[in-house]
Chains A and B, each alone.
Chain A
Amino acid sequence: MSDQAYEAWRRAFADAPLRSVPFTTMSGIPLEPVYGPSDGEFPGVYPYTRGPHASMYRSRLWTMRMFAGFGTATDTNTRFKDIIRSGGTGLSTAFDMPTLLGLDSDDAMSLGEVGRCGVAIDTLADMRDLFADIDLAHITTSMTINSPAAVMLALFVAQAEESGVARASLGGTLQNDILKEYQAQKEFVFPPRQSMRLVRDTMAFTTASMPKWNSISVSGYHIREAGSTAAEELAFTLANGFAYVELARNAGLAVDAFAPRLSFFFNAHIDFFEEIAKYRAARRIWARWMRDVYGATEERSLQLRFHTQTAGVSLTAQQPEINIARTAIEALAGVLGGTQSLHTNSMDEALALPTEKAARIALRTQQVIAYETNVTHVADPLGGSYFVEELTNEMERQAEALFAEIMAFGEGSMLEGCISGIERNWFQGKIADSAYELERAFNRGERIVVGVNDFREGNDDIETLRITNADEKKQRERLAKVRQNRNDDLVRERLDALAASARDPEVNLMEDLIAASVAYASVGEMMAAMGGVFGRHVEVPSI
């Protein structure tokens, strides 16, 4: 090995702006920005195992992006402002179940779910309240939505443009990762191929018109929460990422035009070193495949950037305060693994949606890591550990073995392999098997969960957030008012145009969706207009 990587790192680091803090230990020992032999790997240099950027947190801390949403848009807007006041640096919107499934709040199936585990968004009026008095030119917004992702993007663009912010200047992320919905999260609406057409449309639209927008957040989080192993999370997520790359290339987009705007989202589970190895392997695999398989040449196309959320599934309802410790350890794994953005779960989430106090403690946990521990001074501090390097290689080997299986389903295409794997229930079965195996280990006492299968004394109740059905009623009334005051003929006309465009698979639906949004067509109406053409996905139930 030559010192080429070191030289590249040294040049990049010299150009990087640095935060004005002393880069020393607490006792004053000066620290290098990265450690390792000069012929080894370096952060900010291919294959980016040690981090996407040369200076990592010396230039910029991760974005403390707290996921929030409940009740009406106005309620969530208040929580957003609390987050910004408490030092949160990005917003992340949780939508309620009806919105996630593209249903209106007054749909019969929405009963009991409106505003329950996220915010209810029916029309442009709600989107406007959601971001009222928040400066979208300066704070980036992530929207966790998948089946109706194109609809939510249309509403977001419509609301920004009416307030005078051009679409080209909007920064943020749409989750828009439909493949993992069929595999794990199960909030699907249309069949896989029709859904992928909408993903293609959003990718083409944002690539052309919203250069600062991340078109997809390819998400392993939900795959892991549904029960996969760390290696399965890694492999399925990257396979889905490659599938989107193939989708966009098939639509004629140049890989270096859209790949820089693909971002990732991983889980931070409780097995500390395994998680860190997973993030390191993810960066290395992505860089190699993007360069060697998909022919990307731009650095940003090769650099995997990711958001992290601590593992909801690791939280316990028993002795809930212990969850603060779990979350701190998981968050630290995300940071030592080089995350670009982080959400920390609240201690009460195995019981209910978080209270404001619990959410604040979760944010403070990140701030302790960021400002007190000095772990931010040195990039990839575990790089070079015999253990972590070998675990990183093992993650990579296991992921490659799974890629080969998926590729075989698709006869050489990852896109076809992912769709075929979903249709043959392969992903779903793998995830359910891994979940069951872990559960058996807990039940046999081979693995300990403190407070659950050992150390059980001292279970105190804590205060939890109550959401009443009053929000549901309020939201239904609000929607009724919007329907009353809008121009129904115009809505009908634009929904008909949307349906007509949906019938032609070559047409990009984004402009039709924006036009319908501006006319106050509801999420449910836009989804129904497309659903009449696309049909519905039904999962064959299996245990």
Chain B
Amino acid sequence: MSLRVLVAKVGLDGHDRGIKIVARILRDAGMEVVYTGLFQTADTVALAAIQEDVNVVGLSMLSGAHMTLAPLVVAALRERGSDIPVVVGGIVPPSDVVLLTAAGVAGVMGPGASDHEIIATITNAALVS
């Protein structure tokens, strides 16, 4: 059975180069990928993830708002009784990685992650959950 992944942009960040590349890499690796478009909120992402019954949510964040918004997405899922893991990719200072993990984020990918690393991070997150 192939993994289902929802990739999302939360908040106001319009940088969509990374998310589109990641979406294509995952699709080429045989995963089913849903992209909900720009300017989503934590609630719209959680609802879409549950409705689409995905195995992993991937958030792409390049505006520096990850410390505020990523935990909100995790919380929005948990409040609805979902344990879907959330992975973050983008511009994340190394010191924030520990904090995001503590806030319930299952994996963080920085700039320069290879396709192997991206596929492994998503697959691991799905397996561990």
Contacts and interface: CB of A to CB of B under 8 A. Distances in A.
B21 A435 contact: yes
Interface stretch (B30-38, B52-60, B79-87, B121-129): B30-38
Interface string A174-216: 0000000100011110000000000000000000000000000
Contact of A185 (B14, B68, B69): B14
B15 interface: yes
Interface string B65-79: 101110000000000
A317 B27 CA distance: 26
Contacts of B16: 186, 226
Contacts of B116: 443
Contact of A110 (B12, B25, B33, B35): B12
Interface string A438-460: 01001100000100110000000
B94 A351 contact: yes
A412 interface: no
A109 B64 contact: no
Contact of B12 (A100, A316, A352): A100
Would you call the interface of chain B mostly helix, strand, loop, or mixed? Answer: loop
Size class of the B contact interface (CB-based, 8 Å): 35 or more
A521 to B, nearest CB: 21
A249 to B, nearest CB: 30
A362 to B, nearest CB: 17
Interface stretch (A111-119, A388-396, A492-500): A111-119
Given A185-B14, A461-B94, A352 B64 contact: yes
A98 B37 contact: no
A109 B38 CA distance: 12
Contacts of A540: 37
A37 B63 CA distance: 50
Nearest to B112: A452
A353 B62 CA distance: 11
B11 A112 contact: yes
A116 B63 contact: yes
Contacts of A420: none
Contact of B111 (A112, A113, A117, A316): A316
Interface in B1-58: 11-17, 20-21, 23-25, 27, 33, 35-39, 41
A103 interface: yes
A109 B68 CA distance: 12
Interface of A: 97-98, 100-101, 103, 109-113, 116-117, 181, 185-188, 225-227, 313, 315-318, 350-353, 432, 435-436, 439, 442-443, 449, 452-453, 461, 464, 467, 469, 538-543
19 contacts: A110-B12, A111-B11, A111-B69, A113-B11, A181-B14, A188-B14, A227-B17, A315-B111, A317-B91, A350-B112, A353-B64, A432-B17, A435-B21, A443-B114, A449-B112, A452-B112, A539-B37, A540-B37, A543-B33
